[in-house]
Structure 1
Amino acid sequence: MKIGIVGLGLIGGSLGLDLRSLGHQVLGVSRQERTCKIAVARGATDEAATDLALLADTDLIFICTPIAHMRSTVSQLIPHISLETILTDVGSVKASIVQEIAPLWRNFVGGHPMAGTTESGIEAAQHGLFAGNPYVLTPTETTPSDAIALLESILRPLQVRLHRCQPEAHDRAVAWISHLPVMVSASLIAACLSEADPDVIKLAQALASSGFRDTSRVGGGNPELGLMMARYNRAEVLRSLLVYREQLDRIIHEIDHENWTTLEETFQQNQAARPKFMK
């Protein structure tokens, strides 16, 4: 199948590597000529260019641009592609994207691969990035079933765990397990930096190990992604942050009042609950 990818960063480049390894012809578009050359050299695309006209004869196109540019990208694509071409995106927010793009293109299927690293750009692209991870599709009642079926047939060989849900349900769920962790992780780093004693900061940096590495990873990643989460999933991110703040206040209260038994019960409940999120 001839597949197009607009946006050759970590996600777009990794999709290209995997799709080409499965025998698909992959054509890529990036705003930068340098990125196009690297994508071809690395084997992420068969061809790459800065002109969307390259994708005129593709069967399926992945929109892998930042969320802020997705609608304009689709508008610019429309004059070049067939009405039968299927469009999908990889944005981490779905309701706003689906609301904007679905009216423009009948064969649009919202998508979100739940995979990534703290690195960005075509240089960070890697084989097998999506294997074993969830890949969420958010079709609506007007999404053609044959478009969904074709997209799923392309994604299954990537060994992803496919899920379907409504765009609004997606945004509420990922606020808890993806967007809130980014905000909390970023706050952790900022809190550490607020230490007034420079010697203590240096010691903390020297002693930081797996605990800090794990909890700070997503907060120390691509700043643009964190901003897009907050901006385009604002209501759900705020709701999750407010609930999280309530939980912090509870822990502060228990420590302040030396309610060690209650605090231990909280930690025990959390220990029991965590495996359900690690399937």
Structure 2
Amino acid sequence: MKTTIAIIGVGLIGGSIALALRQNPQVRIVGFDVRQDCLDKALTLGVLHAGTTDLQTAVREANVIIVSAPVEQIYKTLDRLTTLSLQPGVIITDVGSTKSGIVRYAQERMPREVTFIGGHPMAGSHKSGVEAASDRLFENAYYVLTPTEETEEDQVERLASLLSLTRAHVVRMNPDEHDQVVGSVSHFPHILASALVNLVASYDDGNAWHHRLAAGGFRDITRIASSNPRMWRDVLLNNRDHLLKIAEDWSAALNNVVELIEERDADRIEEFFQTARDFREGLPERKKGALPPLYDLYLDIPDHPGEIGRITTLIGAKEINITDIQIRETREDTLGVLRITFRSQNDLEKGEELLHYFGYKVYRRE
């Protein structure tokens, strides 16, 4: 007997989950979206077995419902689901990056025969839409489930087994613990990146060199400031308590560094940077975390006509996907630096091997 999965919201995340799950021939994927054109794309790309703009039709036979929507839309969707006819024993899960509020909201509203288990797949892409979906988006990433003490163990195991088809590492966390950890390593860094960009932008009003010199490294370390403003507004408001506490800790840490500078304490300033360096160097490079990794490759290129075209032709001939390409530095008759961004770790490694073979000096960090 086939398992029917309803995917509510057929974009990058929902589409990638669908592609991964439908590899099991015993799974049937039904997609719901408010936009018919999104469903048409998903059907054409083979992401779904069926699609509809009617929510009741999408969930009527579903054994598992995956709400793949922005945080605020998840609440509205849960409200709608409580008014619809659902299968007894159905599992409902979501993909939101905050969990405590959503889990609590679902517990208060879902009927007893429905099991809600919060979920957060920690992978993404700088691209959006179902056309960017990949069955390997979550490979080697963490997929967090946040059951409560009242959640039946067999239902958690059932969902975890299904989601293992995504090739993610399915782990369990308490909803509140999840929000504190992700607030530290994902949500708060978005605040810092945007605050730093806004600060430099204010300086730029009086001196345009800030804008000119902010290319390169500054652009890279603040890349997450380009994220969707509305989405991050909702994330911050839904993780408000943890973020306010993290902000207090951050303020204290920053004040401590300021005091070291004021006191000209060279040894402790160096210790500050050394401690940060040691922790960062210990982070696994090939693991996917709460922030999407960069699959960047840098190479020196001579200032010759057609050189970039040759490189992209070599990569394209091997069917290796490039998502972005940027010339970082060029001066006439000297070497420039080309940054190529790949779609996945696998594509990066294949591109690196290929370019090495053709004699290019390739490296992963500038």
- TM-score of the aligned structures, taking structure 2 as reference length: 0.71
User: Is this contact kept in 2: 1:96–1:232, CA < 8 A?
Assistant: yes
Q: Secondary structure at the match of 2:88?
A: coil
User: Is this contact kept in 1: 2:19–2:134, CA < 8 A?
Assistant: yes
Map 1:1-279; keep pairs closer than 5 Å. Answer: 1-23=3-25, 24-52=27-55, 53-78=57-82, 79-103=84-108, 104-105=110-111, 106-195=114-203, 196-205=205-214, 208-209=215-216, 211-278=217-284
The runs of 5 or more residues in structure 1 that have no matched partner are none
Report the alpha carbon displacement of residue 167 of structure 1 after superposing the two structures with TM: 0.8
User: Is this contact kept in 2: 1:118–1:217, CA < 8 A?
Assistant: no
Worse overlay, 250-259 or 238-247:
250-259
User: Is this contact kept in 1: 2:13–2:133, CA < 8 A?
Assistant: yes
Aligned length: 276
What is the alpha-carbon root mean square deviation over aligned residues? 1.9
Worse overlay, 255-264 or 126-135:
255-264
Report the alpha carbon displacement of residue 61 of structure 1 after superposing the two structures with TM: 1.0
Q: Secondary structure at the match of 1:110?
A: strand
Q: Secondary structure at the match of 2:213?
A: helix
Letter in 2 for 1:200: W
The runs of 5 or more residues in structure 2 that have no matched partner are 288-366
Change (3 A) 1:276 1:228: farther
Deviation sequence 1:23-52 (CA, Å, 0-9, x none): 332111111112111221222212211111
Runs (4+) of structure 1 exceeding 4 A deviation are none
Worse overlay, 266-275 or 134-143:
266-275
Return the alpha-carbon distance in structure 1 between the equivalents of residues 230 and 139 of structure 2: 24
Q: Secondary structure at the match of 1:141?
A: coil
The structure with more strand, counted as a fraction of residues? 2
Return the alpha-carbon distance in structure 2 between the equivalents of residues 176 and 276 of structure 1: 17
Return the alpha-carbon distance in structure 2 between the equivalents of residues 112 and 30 of structure 1: 20
Report the alpha carbon displacement of residue 111 of structure 1 after superposing the two structures with TM: 0.8
Change (3 A) 1:36 1:76: same
The structure with more helix, counted as a fraction of residues? 1
Letter in 2 for 1:259: D
Return the alpha-carbon distance in structure 1 between the equivalents of residues 230 and 91 of structure 2: 27
Change (3 A) 1:190 1:126: farther
Q: Secondary structure at the match of 1:31?
A: coil
